[in-house]
């Protein structure tokens, strides 16, 4: 699926109102891709109303970036019944929309998914058009491609938004490939000040996040499978940050959960060495089946994934260990 498919949909539906949705606690790739895409829609049809909304708000870093770029995020629940087209950006599973997920499922609007994660089968069932490209470093990279395919030039603000989203999701280009660097060069040529933009992605870690990381480290349980160190921990908030910290300390893979009543949120991170040598994709091979086990949904990248579900974390850990043992043996045998 490409920009031409999108244009065809817009010409057929001729929407008066388009709603762009990002996942809970939306990160810079989510809000920046939504901003650039909203501008693209206005170029295609200036009379179309476009709103960007995120359930439960946006991340702390995203809030800082929204001060530099004119990104307007709806704080109240949108009127789903008024939307002619709803587009989920950087949102792999419907459950990442939290309490809005049922309203999206029940909407009569044309539903589109634009994402760079491995597409989830359950999400594919409910969307009318799925544009998913796991080879792209970020959703911003996909939106960049739309501009090129449609022959539309970027404004400096749009270029900067795309630059910030790509830089964030590639960890300041550590995970970038050759295509990504070509895109970055193009955005810089438009007028993006790379050094200045990158400085905006650096935030000091606040005290509550530091405490969450330290608590997760203290509660960590370590498992060795072959020569791989797998860590499990739990903390009430900042699960993704805690998982990253545990991997940075030396674990090859970290699974960190947070539980409120029977609701579970789990973040999974692995290092590049683990994925390169095992071929174990944490989004497809762990988050997806574990999400199904928890009566929820899971998915993500090769080295970063998330899960929303119900149950208790200890049961999730036991299931994750079983999935890991089976998956690592299977992948090892397939390489022989």
Report the distance separating Cα 328 and Cα 324, nearest Å.
Answer: 6
Q: Report CA-CA distances (Å) from 318 to 94, 182, 284.
A: 25, 43, 18
Give residue 275's pLDDT band: very low, low, confident or very high (50, 70, 90).
Answer: very high
Give residue 203's pLDDT band: very low, low, confident or very high (50, 70, 90).
Answer: confident
**Which residue segment(s) compose the domain that 93 sits in?**
3-199
Q: What are phi and psi of 36, to 5 degrees?
A: -65, -35
CATH no. for residue 188?
Answer: 3.90.1640.10
pLDDT in tens, 254-268: 999 998 888 899 999
Write out the two tokens for 137.
Answer: 């470093």
Report the distance separating Cα 84 and Cα 10, nearest Å.
Answer: 10
pLDDT value at 1 more than 60: no
User: How many structural domains compose the chain?
Assistant: 2
Q: Are residues 50 and 193 in the same domain?
A: yes
Q: Are residues 30 and 81 in the same domain?
A: yes
Q: Of 115, 129, 133, 143, whose CA–CA distance to 43 is shortest?
A: 143
What pLDDT does residue 332 have? 62
What pLDDT does residue 95 have? 85
Q: Indicate the residue among 175, 199, 223 that finishes a domain.
A: 199
Q: Are residues 130 and 279 in the same domain?
A: no
Q: Of 83, 76, 86, 175, whose CA–CA distance to 128 is shortest?
A: 86
Q: Are residues 240 and 180 in the same domain?
A: no
Q: Kindly give the pairing relationship between strand 110-115 and strand 221-225.
A: unpaired
What pLDDT does residue 20 have? 97
Q: Indicate the residue among 199, 216, 245 that finishes a domain.
A: 199
The dihedral built from the CA positions of residue 51, 54, 57 and 58, taken in this order, carries a sign that is negative
Angle between helices 28-44 and 60-68 (to 10 degrees): 40
pLDDT value at 333 more than 80: no
pLDDT in tens, 146-166: 999 999 999 999 999 999 999
Q: Are residues 133 and 68 in the same domain?
A: yes
Angle between helices 156-169 and 60-68 (to 10 degrees): 160
Write out the two tokens for 85.
Answer: 């087209």
pLDDT in tens, 287-307: 999 999 999 989 888 899 999
Q: Indicate the residue among 183, 199, 215 that finishes a domain.
A: 199
pLDDT value at 73 more than 70: yes
pLDDT in tens, 178-190: 999 999 999 999 9
pLDDT value at 336 more than 60: no
Q: What is the mean pLDDT of the chain?
A: 92
């Amino acid at each position: 699926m490409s920009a031409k498919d999108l244009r065809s949909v817009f010409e057929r539906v001729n929407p008066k109102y388009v709603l762009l949705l990002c996942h809970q606690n939306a990160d810079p790739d989510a809000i920046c891709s939504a901003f650039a895409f909203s501008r693209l829609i206005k170029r295609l049809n200036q009379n179309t109303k476009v709103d960007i909304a995120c359930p439960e708000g946006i991340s702390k870093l995203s809030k800082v970036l929204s001060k530099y770029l004119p990104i307007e995020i709806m704080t109240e629940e949108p009127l789903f019944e008024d939307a002619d087209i709803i587009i989920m950006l950087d949102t792999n599973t419907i459950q990442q929309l939290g309490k809005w997920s049922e309203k999206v499922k029940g909407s009569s609007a044309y539903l589109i998914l634009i994402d760079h994660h491995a597409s989830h089968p359950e999400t594919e069932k409910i969307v009318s058009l799925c544009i998913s490209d796991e080879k792209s470093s970020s959703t911003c990279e996909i939106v960049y491609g739309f501009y090129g395919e449609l022959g539309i030039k970027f404004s400096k603000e749009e270029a900067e938004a795309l630059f910030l989203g790509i830089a964030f999701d590639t960890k300041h280009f550590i995970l970038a490939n050759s295509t990504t660097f070509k895109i970055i060069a193009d955005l810089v040529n438009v007028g993006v000040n790379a050094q200045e933009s990158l400085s905006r992605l650096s935030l000091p870690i606040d005290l509550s996040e530091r405490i969450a990381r330290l608590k997760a480290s203290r509660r960590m349980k370590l498992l060795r499978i072959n020569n791989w160190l797998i860590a499990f921990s739990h903390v009430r908030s900042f699960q993704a940050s805690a998982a990253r910290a545990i991997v940075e300390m030396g674990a090859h893979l970290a699974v960190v959960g947070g539980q409120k009543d029977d609701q579970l949120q789990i973040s999974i991170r692995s290092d590049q060495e683990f994925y390169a040598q095992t071929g174990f994709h944490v989004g497809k091979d762990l988050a997806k089946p574990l999400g199904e086990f928890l009566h929820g949904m899971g998915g993500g990248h090769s080295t970063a994934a998330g899960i929303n579900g119900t149950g208790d974390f200890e049961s999730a850990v036991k299931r994750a260990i079983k999935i890991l043992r089976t998956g690592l043996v299977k992948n090892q045998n397939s390489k022989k």
